[in-house]
Amino acid sequence: MKVKLLIIISLILASLMLGSCKDERKPAPKPKVSRLKGKAIKVATEAAKQLVETDHSDTLAMQNCILEAKAMQAEFQLADDSIAVASFNKAYKQYLEENDPDLAKEIFVERPKDLPEGAKWDEFEELEED
């Protein structure tokens, strides 16, 4: 009888000890997905197409196209969808580079070489006139 009681108490203690152990491994991060990525690419492509088709001598019209594109991009920023924003930026730039490389060079500037590694930089940031 004492042996059975000792075995039962040992099993209870063992199960309590196992139950109190925590799994210290962190779960694998879920890959980010964006329900707006496709829409962002389509909208960016259309915005870039509009800019390319605008009379390049009409700087006011061109500025208006760029501002409209920025407003379209803001939709994805407000949705807090960084994947959609990045997709918009990439599609917009890619369309311009393929269809009007000279305009793309004027709009998108290269990352400054003297910028420290890891420093934030936005190629879409408004540039200062010389």
pLDDT of residue 120: 72
Q: Is residue 27 part of a domain?
A: no
Q: Is residue 95 part of a domain?
A: yes
Give the pLDDT band (50/70/90) at residue 130: very low
Q: How far apart are the first and last CA of the chain?
A: 95
Give the pLDDT band (50/70/90) at residue 115: confident
Type of residue numbered 59: T
pLDDT reading at 126 higher than 80 = no
Q: Is residue 130 part of a domain?
A: no
Q: Is residue 117 part of a domain?
A: no
Q: Is residue 125 part of a domain?
A: no
- Report the number of distinct structural domains present in the chain: 1
Rg of the chain over all Cα atoms, to the nearest angstrom: 28
Q: Is residue 48 part of a domain?
A: yes
Give the pLDDT band (50/70/90) at residue 122: low
Phi, psi of 56 (to 5 degrees): -70, -15
Q: Residue 102 class from Cβ within 10 Å (0-12 exposed, 13-18 middle, 19+ buried)?
A: exposed
Give the pLDDT band (50/70/90) at residue 7: low
pLDDT reading at 46 higher than 90 = yes
Domain, as residue range, for 71: 37-107
